[in-house]
Structures are given as C-alpha cells and as structure tokens.
Amino acid sequence: MSRTNPPSTDSTADEALKLQLSVPVAFRRLDAAADVARVTASLGSNVRVFQACDLLTERPPANRNEVDPAVVTELRRIDLKMTLMLDLLADLFAETHPPPPTAEIVLDFHGLDWVDAPADLTVGDRGVVEIYIQAGVPRPLRFIAHVAAAASSQRRFEFEGLSEAEADQLERLIFRQHRQKIAGSRGLQG
C-alpha cells in the first residue's frame, strides 16, 4: 500500500524537520515502465535498512542500578564481538560493492535536496535515489524519485510511492535526529 505525500500546510514545521547529512548518494535513471516495476519489487529492503540503523544507534541503558554487573559485562562483550563482525562484513561488502561518492543532502519527509548534484540531472528525470544513511550499514536506502526542481548545482528530488512503513521509518529517523540536535544544543548551552 502506497502513501501519498500531501502538501504541507505548515511550512515552518517542515522546514524545522530536515536532516542535513554528508553521505554517499547516487541516482540511477529509470526509462521504461518495466524498469520501474522491477525496481519497485526490489525496494522492500528499506524497512530492514531503517531497522538496522535503529539497532546500531547507541542508547544509554534505562537504569544501570537495576542490572546485574555481570550481565552488563557479558552484554558489553557480546556487543563488541557483534560490532567487530559487522565492521568486517561491511568492509568485505564495500570491497565488492563500493559506495558512491559522498555528497551533502538535506533529507525531509517528502524527498531530499542534493547539493552539488550531477549537472546532467534535469527537472522531470525519474529514477532511483540510493542513500547510504549510516556508516556500518552497507545497504543503501532506495527510493523511486523524480527531480522536481533544479537551481545551479542543487537538485530537489521528490519521493514517489513510499509505503506506510517506509514513511513512518523515515519520519522516525528525522524526528530522532531532530531531538538529538535539540538535546545537544541544550547540553552545550547548559
């Protein structure tokens, strides 16, 4: 089930909730309807990528006083082993599937702005945007999108046909990053 992205009535809220990133990103044009159908079938991995990013995000324990120190030590040991294994797998994958060049993007609920996008991308171009959203997760987020606007070297991409689950995960990612930014700025001020 696809979710359409209605125009926002509160542009201030949309402007405040954008995620600025410097990450590997690529765009591959889709020319034929057959390409779109084939790619759409392979886009189901986005939710798994969001889940992997969520799992790898550091979170402090709720209350260390309630956890047995031996359990904390064992969990830390297992975490180190898993982190090492993930790093090795990511390195191996990167050797055989190198990510595209890093670019500056601004991600929001409806699409992204790509600073210094390839000059040959023009308004109306349609394809797949790949965003390597987090280091340690070698699989990119893939979205069907079209170039909605072009200004000098910047391009605006609008996502098409996000599923409910993808849209929810994208919103969670942006909200979580926004909260972390606010918490960080408060911590520096206080």
The pLDDT value recorded for residue 157 is 97
Give percent of the chain with pLDDT exceeding 90: 26
Q: Above 70 in pLDDT, residue 5?
A: no
How do the domains of the chain map onto residue ranges?
17-57+100-189
Q: How sure is the predictor about 57, in pLDDT bands with cuts at 50, 70 and 90?
A: low
Q: Above 90 in pLDDT, residue 73?
A: no
Q: How sure is the predictor about 8, in pLDDT bands with cuts at 50, 70 and 90?
A: very low
pTM score:
0.70
Secondary structure, 3-state, 16-76: HCCEEEEEEEEEEECCCHHHHHHHHHHHHHHHHHHHHHHHHCCCCCCCHHHCCHHHHHHHH
Superfamily for domain range 17-57+100-189: predicted glycosyltransferase like domains (2.40.10.220)
